[in-house]
A and B are shown apart, each in its own frame.
Chain A
Amino acid sequence: MFENILIWFVVIPVIMMAGLGLCRNSSMNAIRAVMVVCSTVLLGLSIWLCCDFLRLRGMGVDDEMLFTGSWMWYEPLNIHLAVGVDGISVLMLLLSSVIVFAGTFASWKISPLPKNFFLWFALLSTGVFGFFISIDIFTMFMFYEVALIPMYLLIGVWGTGRKEYSAMKLTLMLMGGSAFLMLGLLGIYWHSAPEGGQLTWNILEISHNASIAPEWQNMLFCFTFVGFGVLGAMFPFHTWSPDGHACAPTAVSMLHAGVLMKLGGYGCFRIAIFLLPQAANELAWIFIILTGVSIVYGAFSACVQTDLKYINAYSSVSHCGMVLFAILMLNTTAMTGAILQMLSHGLMTALFFALIGMIYGRTHTRDIRQMGGLMKIMPYLGVCYMIAGFASLGLPGLSGFVAEMTIFFGSFQDADLFHRIFVIAATCSIVITAVYILRVVGKLLLGPVQDEHHLALTDATWFERLSTVTLILCIAGIGCFPNWINETIQHSFAPIMAAVQSVAL
């Protein structure tokens, strides 16, 4: 079992938890050592996986999933621990490990109870990694929920502001989503084989064997898409996102906006669309409307906020809406864009939240009206914030541009009026994004200094620089060399497109 490299993505966080369990709350250095070692190993492992994956693909191995492995778990129900990755999951693993790495450094001085903080943080990352390596919907769902619940304590104990309210709201809404999801998955399981065949939870087997009746597909599609859509902050189920992000501690916001919200998009893509293609063709329009609304609505809401974290949370609603929107276009170009957008949004949002955390740690306010001229006071953080902002509004050379361009190119392929209207509306959101980003940058970084006490503040420390530089390098890397990402994921869409087109009208 342990010869499979993917298993280690779950084993290492578990080792991390065990290691943290042995530390004392007072011995900060031991805790940091465990976190740094394990998150570095994870980062190295995912880079290695990525290289190995590209090597195998280069050698002409064109299985749907590589590094597959499957171990029986609950035999009566044919539940396996089945793992496997395609290009998309490899990139998601890479993204998650980058953000876990950056998040560790961003919460270098967490208090109180650092040990418990990192324990829950490690549990959260176990869930995230487990989700991306699973190809068995049962384990996928299990890891999905593992990733959700630590949020309650992470926000509730270490958060700021109305943390009890936000933590409860976030947990209940996400768990509500997963209740619907659960029902959808159970339906898929019981229809996963033709009459009399061996039922299975394995995604690949289901996609090959199953022929789910259309009326069941429609119902199950709604359940699964809404279930994952709640985590993807789809309108009208996005309201947990602003409150949750605003109250969460820095590293948790990073991981949550950066990776956890991607679970939603990835799940819609891998389960809702892939396993229920007919319903996806028929019902995509409903969700195109909803995601279209979230793109525009999120962007407009961000324009009127004054709290830095709220601005970012609404901007996340808008950008994550774009991911789901592109997936629903059901063509290869748009889906490529969606994957790029997931990576790009994950990285830049993590960078934003890390920076906001650092600024808030110094100024003790997140209200942009009370800050100004930070560029002069802390030039390093200011420049980083600007880079993040530019990535967000789609400056060429950074990741946002590549992602959004691909999405809009792809989305424009559908020539009917309905799609056109929504694509045009979504495209307009770029302008609105520019409005709120430039507003913040102008007010926060460039304007006059609002508070004299701020003049005495210091710039970033080494661990903060490490955290931000990692993220910026990745953002610029995607922006300048999008080709290698394309290369990694290009094989991954064929099975999904085949499934979708085989039932297209």
Chain B
Amino acid sequence: MDYSQFGSMIPELIVLGIFMVVFLFDTFSGEKGKKILTPFATILFLLGTIAIWIVPASGEEIFGGMYINNTATNAIKAILNVGVFIVLLQSAKWVQSDEVAIRKGEFYELILVTLFGMYLMVSARHFLLFIIGLESASLPLAALVAFNKRHYESHEAAIKYIMTAVFSSAILLTGLSFVYAFSGGSLYFSDIALNINQGEMSGLLIAALAFVIAGIGFKLSLVPFHLWTADVYEGAPTAVTSYLSVISKGAAAFAFFIIFVQCFGTVYSDAWEWMMYAVIILTITVGNLFAIRQKNMKRFMAFSSISQAGYIMLGAMAADTLGLASMIFYIFVYIVSNLGAFAVISSIEDKTGKLSMDDYNGLHKTNPYLSFLMTLAMFSLAGIPPFAGFFSKILIFTSVTGTGSWALYMLVLIALINTIISLYYYLLVVKAMWISPDEPKIEKFESGRCQKVSFFLCGAGIIFFGVVPYIYQYCYDAVVNSSDVIASIMVFVFR
């Protein structure tokens, strides 16, 4: 075996390297060393993130085409890294708290391991590698969800999460075994695409695709596979909730796109277009309707993130270059907006332990900057210009309507009507903070320094990266320059 092939896995090596350093540092350092673990890990991660942004993708397929590191995968990895960095900043305060301080090394290690798994998911071109990535991304997450050892909600959430994760993996594997049946005995994406084209449509294929959608749908919390979401989000520590809601969702969405366009692109209109059509409509609508009645901010964000996942998956419906570019851009914007909201939620939770929307009444009187950031985040999630959320929504809608079919037009219409519903409940938060006449329930307080940096990053991301088209251009170029994605899309366009 040619070990030099590992040299192409630069992002993975970087994350693995950071993991090793943090692990060894955590294991062998004394009391003093433990104190600087948080800044050490955060800064190391920042350097890694910068490295991934800078180092160009090799574009090589290695291990016989099992793994690829091209510009598109590099782009999504870089964007996920930015999100993880913000999560680390937000959690800096929480990991220092008495309850978890002793285990904070584990927190960073588990985060890095799951991130490594997501990298493999994104880069996999063979289902075996994909499954390895998926598992190493989801099992350590369960440990993270249970991180608040002394809270039974956290345990309950972890049990729920691990049960659904394992169950969904089982379903996914069943689906893949069906796929294996008619792919001519190969699990390479390219082989599957070739062989499915030759075979004729069968009930088995439909079942296989349904199982695969269900399996990945659990990760993305698409309706009807979303039932775990609200409870897990509520029970998990807030830092983990924000990690779950953006990072693991972003990676799964990208992987979904690649799998469905590369393996099953040739049976798009026969087999999975209508399935995804129904799933997306359900996801957006159900997520929105349930979010209206939530009073707990974490549950509220859970349902809001369900409906946002539906919008992300619209990119898969478009299934072309613009679709993928808009999807990556949407993931980026969703990361900064959602983390902006979670920055406020977690900072308030750290200080006061309050999580109910009613507690936010009159927040602007005591904490004007927090309310301002929360307002920005809510507007961005609702898709209000000039904030980034508007651009990501409109670009993804543009890519979906580009296919020119009436059915997709109607899908966009439904999605647009849903943005109005979502605007309603996002405005409820704004209303609580700015309009409610009640006396503020949260005292004035200073957030930690790291949290302030994360406020700044999220706020700047929301304000600037819509108006400045740099990130979108970056995503688009990344997609256009990654030849294997383009090749599969081209096959798919002239099907």
Chain A: residues with CB nearer than 8 A to chain B? Answer: 73-77, 138, 141-143, 145-146, 149, 152-153, 156-157, 163-164, 167-168, 171-172, 175-176, 179-180, 182-183, 186-187, 189-190
Q: Which residues of B contact A73 (CB under 8 A)?
A: 469
Q: Which residues of B contact A156 (CB under 8 A)?
A: 431, 434-435
B395 at interface, CB cutoff 8 A? yes
Q: Is the CB of A157 within 8 A of B434?
A: yes
**Taking the nearest CB of chain B, how far is it from the CB of A493, in angstroms?**
30
> In the assembly, what is the distance between CA of A75 and CA of B423, in Å?
29
- Over the window 400-443 of chain B, the binary record of Cβ atoms lying under 8 Å from chain A Cβ atoms (1 yes, 0 no) is 01101000010011001101100110010011001100000000
**Taking the nearest CB of chain A, how far is it from the CB of B376, in angstroms?**
12
Q: Is the CB of B427 within 8 A of A152?
A: yes
**Taking the nearest CB of chain A, how far is it from the CB of B481, in angstroms?**
13
> In the assembly, what is the distance between CA of A172 and CA of B476, in Å?
33
**Taking the nearest CB of chain A, how far is it from the CB of B256, in angstroms?**
22
Given the known A-B contacts A77-B398, A142-B386, are A153 and B420 also in contact in the complex, defined by CB atoms under 8 Å?
Answer: no
Closest 8 CB pairs of A and B: A179-B416, A156-B435, A186-B401, A76-B476, A142-B385, A145-B385, A74-B469, A149-B384
> In the assembly, what is the distance between CA of A145 and CA of B384, in Å?
7
Q: Is the CB of B409 within 8 A of A182?
A: no
**Shortest Cβ distance from A146 into B: residue:** B385
> In the assembly, what is the distance between CA of A176 and CA of B423, in Å?
10
Q: Is the CB of B402 within 8 A of A190?
A: yes
Q: Which residues of A contact B413 (CB under 8 A)?
A: 179, 183
21 A-B Cβ contacts within 8 A?
A73-B469, A74-B391, A74-B469, A74-B472, A74-B473, A76-B325, A141-B394, A142-B385, A149-B379, A157-B435, A163-B435, A168-B424, A171-B427, A172-B420, A175-B419, A179-B416, A183-B401, A186-B401, A187-B409, A190-B401, A190-B404
Interface of chain A: mostly helix, strand, loop or mixed: helix
Q: Which residues of A contact B385 (CB under 8 A)?
A: 142-143, 145-146, 149
Given A145-B390, A186-B401, 4 further pairs, Cβ under 8 A: A74-B472, A75-B473, A183-B409, A186-B412
Q: Which residues of B contact A157 (CB under 8 A)?
A: 434-435
**Taking the nearest CB of chain A, how far is it from the CB of B211, in angstroms?**
34
Q: What interface size band does chain B fall in?
A: 20 to 34
Q: Which residues of B contact A186 (CB under 8 A)?
A: 397-398, 401, 412
**Shortest Cβ distance from A113 into B: residue:** B364
B388 at interface, CB cutoff 8 A? no
Q: Is the CB of A176 within 8 A of B397?
A: no
> In the assembly, what is the distance between CA of A75 and CA of B325, in Å?
12
Given the known A-B contacts A182-B394, A183-B416, A186-B412, are A164 and B384 also in contact in the complex, defined by CB atoms under 8 Å?
Answer: no
- Over the window 467-485 of chain B, the binary record of Cβ atoms lying under 8 Å from chain A Cβ atoms (1 yes, 0 no) is 0010011001000000000
Q: Is the CB of B427 within 8 A of A76?
A: no
Q: Is the CB of B431 within 8 A of A77?
A: no
Q: Which residues of A contact B473 (CB under 8 A)?
A: 74-76
B322 at interface, CB cutoff 8 A? yes
Given the known A-B contacts A74-B472, A142-B385, are A153 and B434 also in contact in the complex, defined by CB atoms under 8 Å?
Answer: yes
> In the assembly, what is the distance between CA of A112 and CA of B390, in Å?
30
**Shortest Cβ distance from A144 into B: residue:** B385
**Shortest Cβ distance from B416 into A: residue:** A179
Given the known A-B contacts A146-B385, A182-B394, A183-B416, are A77 and B401 also in contact in the complex, defined by CB atoms under 8 Å?
Answer: no
Q: Is the CB of B322 within 8 A of A77?
A: yes
Q: Which residues of A contact B390 (CB under 8 A)?
A: 142, 145
> In the assembly, what is the distance between CA of A186 and CA of B415, in Å?
14
**Shortest Cβ distance from A167 into B: residue:** B435
Q: Is the CB of A182 within 8 A of B434?
A: no
Q: Which of A75, A76, A143, A182 contacts B397 (CB 8 A)?
A: A182
